[in-house]
Amino acid sequence: MIVKVTLRNLAAHKLRLALTALAVILGVAFVAGTLVFTDTMGKQFDDLFAKTGQDVAVQIRAKQVIKTDDGTDTPTVPASLVDTVSRIPGVARVHGEVNGFAALVGRNGKVVGGSGPPQLGVDWYPADPDDAVKSGRGPVRAGEVAIDDKAAEKAGLKAGDRTRVLVQGPPQDVTVVGILDRGNLMGATIVAFDQGTAQRLLVKPGRYSDITIAAQSGVSETVLRDRIARVLPSPSYEAITGTKMRKDNENEIAKLLSFIRTFLLVFAVISIFVGAFIIFNTFSMLVAQRSRELALLRAVGASRKQVTRAVLGEAIGVGVVGSTLGIAAGAGLALLLQQAFRAAGADFPGGLTFTYKPVLWSYAVGVLVTVAAAYFPARRAAKVPPVAAMRDDVAMPQRSLRIRLIAGSVVTVGGAVLSGVGLGGAPIALLGAGAALVFVGVAMLAPVISRPAVRVLGAAFPKLFRTPGRLATQNALRNPRRTAATASALMIGLALVSAINVMASSAKASVAGQVDKEFAADYMITPASPGLSPEEPAKAVRAVPGVELVTSAYQGRFKQGTDQHSFIATERPGDFVRAAKLTLRSGSANLGRDGLMVDESTATSEKLTVGSTVTARFADGGTEHLRVDGIYAKNQLLGARVLALPAYQAHSDHPAGLGLMVNTDKADAATKAGIERALSGYPNLKVQDQSDVKRSAQQSIDSFVTLLTVLLALSIIIAALGIINTLALSVIERTREIGLLRAVGTSRRQTRRMIRLESVVIAVFGGLLGIAIGVVFGVAIQHAVSDQGLNVLSVPVPTLVAYVVLSAIIGVLAALWPAWRASRLDVLKAIAFE
């Protein structure tokens, strides 16, 4: 019987449940799309690695002392090992590989790639199937390169064309002599040199990035690895099997995919969390509207458990249908993500990869969340007494708002405490859990808050809109739980968006303040992509009329004990102090060959004074005893450590350039144009004055905020669906009442206005609640990280006011269909409706 009742109710309330299912669909689509997309990326990377280095049995590489994400300062191995290893029994082939930064300049004078996928320079090796020539030939002398076919297409180049390649040194004028068939490189670009040139430009003569060894038939890679390990000249080098080499490459990609998956799933969880409010509200209203029907079920013998199962059965039906459609929608979302990554330069060809995991997780999330959200309404339905079937009006049992006030306060305070712990340096997951508890707690408190808030928000309605305005306010006040549950869904999305905007506004204000306070140079010259050697550009800029001072800066890392630290290195520390507006507290900027300056907080935490010695270990495994020559005031743009350039150069074949700072006698348009002309041969360099530096940083912040807002927009859309659903069900619930209003003279226009105003009150209440919470969170986060650069609090009042207006617009749009439906009710049928 219960199964039949469940199916009948699903069929009878198709329209009501369709909107609920839509909330499930959107949330599940985000989950399914994320998992399908990352599975597709993983499959394509697996295919790429499956074709790369399959004949490698052993690889010799230098042990990595410093962990880097950009590939700079990667230690190398001596070329002499090739002859040593080639004499080991079981070795079939030995090849010293070279790789590093090399950016191809296209026919249009612009650098190809650089917005994410790497720009790789390699040595061309005819025996390697990865270096198969598609047209032309391989490079055999300096000044010749071969490029991959995808890069050639993007650059508009073919064999025989002249172009330029940017490396960590002077730009190289080259001839493209061949096009390589490298297959799908996921947006990376390949420039291949002859081996001698590759060593000179990318690493160092007499050095290789690594050495790969192929084994003779019948020799296992583990046996060969052990033989090779015995001849390695230093513990700084290691021999690993080809299997481990490929596994390490896969693990690096797995970390990237894990980050992307986690990042997107956070927003999927937010959407599902918002959807749970909609599901809860919908089932609460459906149960309330069917209370007499449920009482009849109890009267004819249905037990409480059976009534509960009937309602949960409907929830399962909605969850299954919503999850199924959500998986289909998720495939579309995965395609959109694929296109977005292509637009960013990462080429993911082919179709999508489907595995069982997205399907399994989609159904698990969709069904479980729907059932969990419907559980309490189902339990409430089971409490309807059988005797209520004999009454004309049946009221669902409601708990006192006092209990909600106490419980909501406890949950909110608990969430705030947990959030505070998360902001204090504990795992970030605690911050997320605390925020979720705050949202739940405020949602529990919202019915108590809604009454005074709705009265204030709707106070002007009677004067402005007369009777429809008064009725709209009364309707919103009639059921504070329903009003609060509907508003809470919108609250979550706008709270997160508001918090992000507070942090973004604070970040932009902080950057502007830091540039004004800590940046004295007239111009900053920075690379648009990694791989800059400031030496040559600095010479060109110094020759520009009006240029007084050019200061080059490099960035690197060293280990101090077990801790890894970043530093900036410069060859002219005195000029650097002037250009960076560095305030020395003690000591001097005369660093010599092995001098170091640290900021005050570092000196205090590490108990350093002028004359102290710091033992630093660099990427090549070598150590330096650095002398502390100066202590300076904290400088957010500069960082905590400034190192003498010779100390860095002693341990890096190609120190990573950070940029140039330029001081002139007159910072005007003519001077800037002269600097840009001097750097015309370096298309990856960007010249910025102080206003440009601020604008560039602020644009980056704005772009990130836009991305987050777009991802959060789905939760706001789901909240809007919740308002539509609530109003639609409310119209059904008040059918007889609306019919009576129409009978006593209320026009269709007035009826539509009443519904719209009710929607606006609910939406604005939710928006204001969310904005208030978002501002509190934003201020708390800014305060917690104020010592990490976010030292200026800025609340974007105009933006927040715009969000209030947006809330009202959402309310108007959400009410369009319910208002139209209410105005079209047949008056006689509505009056007779039970």
Most confident of 67-76, 333-342, 393-402, 432-441: 432-441
pLDDT greater than 60 at residue 394: no
State the average pLDDT for the chain: 83
- pLDDT of 695-734, one tens digit each? 888 888 888 888 888 888 888 888 887 788 777 777 776 7
pLDDT the model gives residue 513? 82
* Of 213-217, 339-343, 373-377, the least confident: 339-343
DSSP state of 129: G
Three-state DSSP state, 789: coil
- pLDDT of 192-231, one tens digit each? 999 999 999 998 899 999 999 999 998 999 999 999 999 9
pLDDT the model gives residue 628? 93
Is residue 162 within 8 Å of 173, Cβ to Cβ? yes
Q: Which band of pLDDT confidence, cut at 50, 70 and 90, is reported for residue 608? A: very high
Three-state DSSP state, 666: coil
pLDDT the model gives residue 347? 64
Q: 673-705: string of b/e by CB count within 10 Å (b at 16+)? A: ebbeebbebbbbbbbbbbeebbbebbeebeeeb
Percent of the chain scored above 90 by pLDDT?
22
pLDDT greater than 60 at residue 150: yes
Domain boundaries, the chain: 57-253, 448-519+690-834, 532-683
- pLDDT of 39-68, one tens digit each? 888 877 777 666 666 788 999 999 888 877
Round to whole Å and give the CA distance between 82 and 93: 10
In this prediction, residues 655-674 reach a mean pLDDT of 87
Q: Which band of pLDDT confidence, cut at 50, 70 and 90, is reported for residue 632? A: very high
pLDDT the model gives residue 60? 93
Q: Which band of pLDDT confidence, cut at 50, 70 and 90, is reported for residue 389? A: very low
In this prediction, residues 140-149 reach a mean pLDDT of 92
Closest CA to 436 of 375, 482, 492: 492
- pLDDT of 446-486, one tens digit each? 888 888 988 998 888 888 888 888 988 888 888 787 788 88
Neighbours of 832 (CB within 10 A): 11
Most confident of 190-194, 442-446, 561-565, 702-706: 190-194
Q: How far is CA 715 from CA 92, 273, 320, 325, 719, in A?
A: 59, 9, 20, 18, 6
pLDDT the model gives residue 642? 92
- pLDDT of 419-431, one tens digit each? 888 777 667 778 8
In this prediction, residues 495-523 reach a mean pLDDT of 86
Q: Max Cα separation, the chain?
A: 104
Closest CA to 640 of 700, 582, 701: 582
Round to whole Å and give the CA distance between 440 and 705: 25
In this prediction, residues 630-655 reach a mean pLDDT of 87
pLDDT greater than 80 at residue 576: yes
Three-state DSSP state, 13: coil
Query: Phi and psi for 828 in degrees, rounded to 5?
Result: -65, -45
pLDDT greater than 70 at residue 384: no
Strand segments, DSSP code E, in 46-85 are: 58-62, 77-78
Query: What angle is formed at CA 442 by the lines to CA 438 and CA 446, rounded to 5 degrees?
Result: 170
H/E segment holding residue 550: strand 547-560
Q: 481-492: string of b/e by CB count within 10 Å (b at 16+)? A: bbbbbbbbbbbb
Round to whole Å and give the CA distance between 476 and 455: 9
Tokens found for residue 359 = 């399907």
User: What is the DSSP annotation of 218-283?
Assistant: T--HHHHHHHHHTT-S-TTEEEEEHHHHHHHHHHHHHHHHHHHHHHHHHHHHHHHHHHHHHHHHHH
pLDDT the model gives residue 830? 63
Percent of the chain scored above 70 by pLDDT?
89
In this prediction, residues 154-168 reach a mean pLDDT of 90
- pLDDT of 758-815, one tens digit each? 889 999 999 999 999 999 988 888 888 877 777 888 999 999 999 999 999 988 888 8
C-alpha of 827 from chain center: 53
Q: What single letter denotes the amino acid at residue 746?
A: T
pLDDT the model gives residue 396? 47
* Of 7-21, 267-281, 477-491, 614-628, the least confident: 7-21
pLDDT the model gives residue 529? 66
pLDDT the model gives residue 78? 93
Three-state DSSP state, 531: coil
**Which one is predicted more confidently, 350 or 524?**
524
Query: What angle is formed at CA 741 by the lines to CA 738 and CA 746, rounded to 5 degrees?
Result: 115
pLDDT the model gives residue 132? 78
